[in-house]
Structures are given as C-alpha cells and as structure tokens.
Amino acid sequence: MYAFPMARSVREIERKYTAPASDDSSWLADLTAVGPVASVAERGVVELDAVYYDTDDLRLTRGGAALRRRTGGEDAGWHLKLPVADDTREEIQTSSTAEEVPEELRDLALSRTRGAALRPVVRVRSSRSVHHLLDARGDVLAELSRDAVSADGLLDEGGHAAWRELEVELAGSGDTALLNGIEKVLIRSGVDRAKSPSKVVRALAETESGPQPASGRAPGVAPGSAGDHVLAYVGRLVSDLTDLDPAVRRDLPDAVHRMRTTARRLRGCLRSYRSVLDAEACAPVRRDLKWLANELGVERDHEVLGERLRSGLRELPGELVLGPVDARLEAWDVAKRADARRRTLDALASPRYLGLLNGLRSLTDEPPLRAKASGRPEKVMVKVLRKEFRRLAGRMDPALDMASGPERDAAIHDARKAAKRLRYAAETASPVLGKPARRLGGRVKAVQQVSGDQHDSVVTRDALRRLAVSAQGAGEPGFTWGLLHGQERASAGARERQLPEAWARARAAGRSKPFRR
C-alpha cells in the first residue's frame, strides 16, 4: 500500500493583504468587534526562511501549487501546497529538513511537474509578527501575521525584491464568515487584498526569476467559437485530473471514482467532438485515457462490488446467515482490494501515465483544431448531440426488444456506454445550448443509472457464484450465497422493467427542440 510515513495534511484557509501605509497598530483593537473575537494577543516575532522548488518552466506555480523547504517557526520542514478552492489550500507537510525533495512529495506533485526535474527557484525570508485572535474562552480563532518579506531569485539572473504584507489564516476548519468580518475592518483601515495569491508568485514576479504563469486562450481559438467552448470543457477536466492525482495516491475517499469518471468524460468529449478537434491527432490521448480508466476501474469496480455485497448481507436477518459468511467476504475483500490498489499505483507510476499527462498538456496548449472549430457553437453542438442520440437509440431499442438473458445483459451494457457518451457530450454543450442540453443530459443520466444498476447486479451475481463455489469447497453452507444471488436476480429484473420508461423520457428529450430536424 502507498503510505506517507512522515507526512501530515492540514487545510489552510487564508487571505493575503497589502501592508498598512504606516506602522500604527491601533486598528488591531477594532478586530474585537468582529463576531466571536474577544481579544487580540501579540505572540512575538518569528524568523522564517523558505526555499521554493519548481521546474525550470514553473509547472507547479502555473498549476497553483507550491513546494518549499522551510526553516524557522513551528512547522519547519518540507511543505507541498495544493489548491482546493478560493482562499483554501491543502498543505502536506513532512518534518524532513534534508535538501533532497522527499519522495512522497515528489510523487504527489507529479501530475503538475509531469516528471520534469525540480530545483530551487526562489528564496523567501520573512520576519513575521504574529497576533492571535481569541474568543471569550481564550481559544484561537485566527492568526494575523505582519510580514516583512525579502525574496531572492535563484534561477538565471534572478533579482531581489522586498515588501510588506498581512496574512490572516483561520484556525482549524474555521468559518469564512469570520474572514469576511476581519476583511471589512482591514479595508476600513486602508488595507487591500493582495494582487498575488501567494508569496512565491509575487517573489517570482518581482525578482524576474524566469517565466511567469501563463494565462489566456490557446492560439488560433476564436472567442465564443465552438472550439473555444469545447476546449474550455477539456481544460476544466484536465485540471480536475491533475488535482485528483494526489488524492488517488493518498487513497482519499471517492478519489479513484472521480478520477476514472474524469478520464471517461475527457475521452468521451474528444470522441464526440471530432469535428472540432482532429480525431487522428487526439487518438493517442484517447487510447491512454481508456487505458487509465480501465486501470482505475479495477479498484473502483471492487469498491462498488464490495459495498454491494456487504449491503446485501447486512440487510439479511441473522437467522438467514449460515456459516462463516462475514469472514469469507472479508478475506475476499482484503485480497482483492490489495491487488486492485497496487494496480492503481503502478499505473500512476508508469511511463504511459506520464505520456498521457504530457499529451493532455499539449492538447490544451496547442489544440489540433479543425475547420468547424471556428464555427457557431450552437450549430456544431446540436449536430454532435443528434449523432450521439442516434447512436444510443440504435443500441437501446434492439436491447429492449431482446428476451432476458446474457445477450440482453450485454446489449444493455453496450447501450449504457452510448448513454454515457451522449451525457458527456450534453455536458460540454450545456453552457451553449442551456436548458435543452441539461434536460437531455439529465434524462440520459437516469438511463445510465438504471442500466448501470442492472449491470452491477450481473457482476455481483457472478461474484456470488464464485464465493459460493469457494465456500462449498471448504465444506461451508452455500445457503446464504444462494439467497443473495436470488435477491440480485430480482433486483436486476426490477431495473429492466424500469428501463423502458427511463428510455422513453430520454428519447422524448432527444427529439425535442433544438434536436429534432
């Protein structure tokens, strides 16, 4: 299993501000009028020294992350900061003070560095005057720091810069309403929000230490065009995939599922919008996305199957559980889960995965646009959705006409794949087409969910049969396994009966304006 023996993680909710025009600190007393703040306590001055590491082209900084080795203060060591939301970052810390980047942090940064070498890029020293904002019981609500900052660029011809700033950080999870109240006092005192989101971004800018984070539209993409909208969707998904990588490595809840779904959404978008992005140029990325989704699917499918089996067992009355059913299920789960986890981590450590990350970056930076990329997005997207709808109808209608059995199960599963593809195409089009696309996507999602539950039942029955065979071979009763198998068969039958109605609603949406000819 992947582990971080030296690392710990904290959520950091903070805002940065320009320094007051004068050294007058009388405004600090005004903070006691903010919500639960009862007093402000001075905690002295601490000297901090941090060397920030990045690639030569600043891939971490461009991706909103930061990696530093700090000395001084209570949290000396290596820190990797990853973006979470506005004002919020996750800081993963190790106590190591070695000059080499710790392997676990290097791996967690991989989706952003894409394997490029890390080196020192800027040194930031701060003389920090600390004040704690306390409630009536003396508990710390937030920390206000007044920093005198000195920065030295460490890349070629890096310069020197100095400035003063304020930083307000909530204690623990905190309440952003408190931050808002503090900000009102600061603004009244002539303090504004800082233009740079972090010290490292400002330090790199003011010391002219190499290229600055890029922004803006890819070359050749006309604003408001079909290509602009498709690439905006692709860009969001690439960013999501990048953010989910460290969560998957740390085995955080639902991370594997979300990363697998993101890979599928990306692949679906690239397949559906081939009139916008050249299919041949995107083919290697699509193949690698399919590979990644399949590798992640082993762990995700086991999660779903294991929970379904445990849920079915929990719902049985105790007198119907005969033999060591719980023990056998637990042994099966542990063995399968370990293998699945290993496969996930092997995939993320593979050269193929690095190639995918670089391919996705090339796709967003230099998109292989086709002629229709410059066209009206409404026209292009309606045509795509019509085509994907016809594909789904061509699979679902014959599947529903089949008699129950393995062939029908396989046909419904194929139709479900087409439903996913239509749903993802509708998601891409929703910002342009609005309610019709959202309605179509929602109704197709219902088809996907019903058919997915039916497929999960098919997979679960197969697992139950294998567990029953193993139990029988060990001389254990097979009654409970057979009972669960029967319940799954009944569940699948119920979903099959629901499917025609769900499909009828989706078909009506697919034949309404603007999708009907």
Nearest to 227 by CA among 239, 237, 219: 219
Average pLDDT over residues 95-124: 93
Q: What pLDDT sits at residue 6?
A: 53
**In terms of pTM, does the model score above 0.75?**
yes
pLDDT bin (cut points 50, 70, 90) of residue 4 is very low
Polymer length in residues for the chain: 517
Average pLDDT over residues 418-438: 97
Contact 370, 220 (CB under 8 A): no
For the stretch 168-191, pLDDT in tens is 999 987 788 999 999 999 998 889
Q: For residue 237, what are the CA distances in angstroms to 230, 234, 303, 419, 424?
A: 11, 5, 23, 19, 11
Of 72-81, 118-127, 382-391, least confident by mean pLDDT is 72-81
Q: What pLDDT sits at residue 373?
A: 95
Select the more confidently predicted residue: 87 or 193: 193
For the stretch 331-369, pLDDT in tens is 999 999 999 999 999 999 999 999 999 999 999 999 999
Alpha helices in 252-324 (DSSP H): 255-272, 279-314
Average pLDDT over residues 193-218: 79
Distance CA 513, CA 131 (A): 61
How many other CB atoms are found less than 10 A from the CB of residue 158? 19
Q: What pLDDT sits at residue 212?
A: 52
For the stretch 14-47, pLDDT in tens is 999 998 877 777 888 999 999 999 999 999 999 9
Contact 157, 5 (CB under 8 A): no
Q: What pLDDT sits at residue 57?
A: 92
pLDDT bin (cut points 50, 70, 90) of residue 1 is very low
Average pLDDT over residues 300-306: 96
For the stretch 307-322, pLDDT in tens is 999 999 999 999 999 9
Share of the chain above pLDDT 90, in %: 85
Q: For residue 164, what are the CA distances in angstroms to 16, 21, 193?
A: 11, 10, 13
Select the more confidently predicted residue: 276 or 5: 276
Distance CA 489, CA 454 (A): 9
pLDDT bin (cut points 50, 70, 90) of residue 210 is low
Q: What pLDDT sits at residue 73?
A: 79
Task: Report residue 429 as tokens.
Answer: 């089009």
Of 15-19, 33-37, 70-74, 377-381, least confident by mean pLDDT is 70-74
Distance CA 329, CA 319 (A): 18
Task: Report residue 455 as tokens.
Answer: 């497929």
Q: For residue 57, what are the CA distances in angstroms to 120, 159, 476?
A: 12, 17, 62
pLDDT bin (cut points 50, 70, 90) of residue 211 is low
Reduce the secondary structure of 12-74 to three states and give it as a string.
Answer: EEEEEEECCCCCCCHHHHHHHHCCCCCEEEEEEEEEEEEEEEECCCCHHHHCCCEEEEEECCC
pLDDT bin (cut points 50, 70, 90) of residue 5 is very low
Q: What pLDDT sits at residue 270?
A: 97
Q: What pLDDT sits at residue 42?
A: 94
Q: Does the bond joining 514 to the residue before it have cis omega, within 30 degrees of 0?
A: yes
Average pLDDT over residues 116-122: 96
Give the angle subtended at the CA of 378 by the CAs of 377 and 379, to the nearest 5°: 95
Average pLDDT over residues 437-458: 97
Residue 152, beta-bridge partner list: 123, 160
In the chain, the amino acid numbered 437 is A
Of 91-95, 440-444, 468-472, 481-485, least confident by mean pLDDT is 91-95
- For 393, phi then psi, to 5°, come to -60, -35
In the chain, the amino acid numbered 68 is R
Q: What pLDDT sits at residue 91?
A: 93
For the stretch 131-172, pLDDT in tens is 999 999 999 999 999 999 999 999 877 799 999 999 999 998
pLDDT bin (cut points 50, 70, 90) of residue 3 is very low
82 pLDDT above the threshold of 50: yes
Distance CA 262, CA 474 (A): 42
397 pLDDT above the threshold of 90: yes
In the chain, the amino acid numbered 445 is K
Q: What pLDDT sits at residue 233?
A: 96
Q: What pLDDT sits at residue 485?
A: 97
Contact 256, 300 (CB under 8 A): yes
Task: Write down the residue that tokens 């999960």 correspond to.
Answer: 456
Task: Report residue 170 as tokens.
Answer: 């909530």
Contact 3, 147 (CB under 8 A): no
Cβ neighbours for 211, distance < 8 A, ≥ 6 positions apart: 57, 58
- Mean pLDDT over the full length of the chain: 93
Task: Report residue 89 as tokens.
Answer: 């970052």
Task: Report residue 270 as tokens.
Answer: 């690239």
For the stretch 493-517, pLDDT in tens is 999 999 999 999 999 999 998 898 7
Distance CA 131, CA 43 (A): 5
For the stretch 213-236, pLDDT in tens is 455 567 778 899 999 999 999 999
Task: Write down the residue that tokens 């070629």 correspond to.
Answer: 156
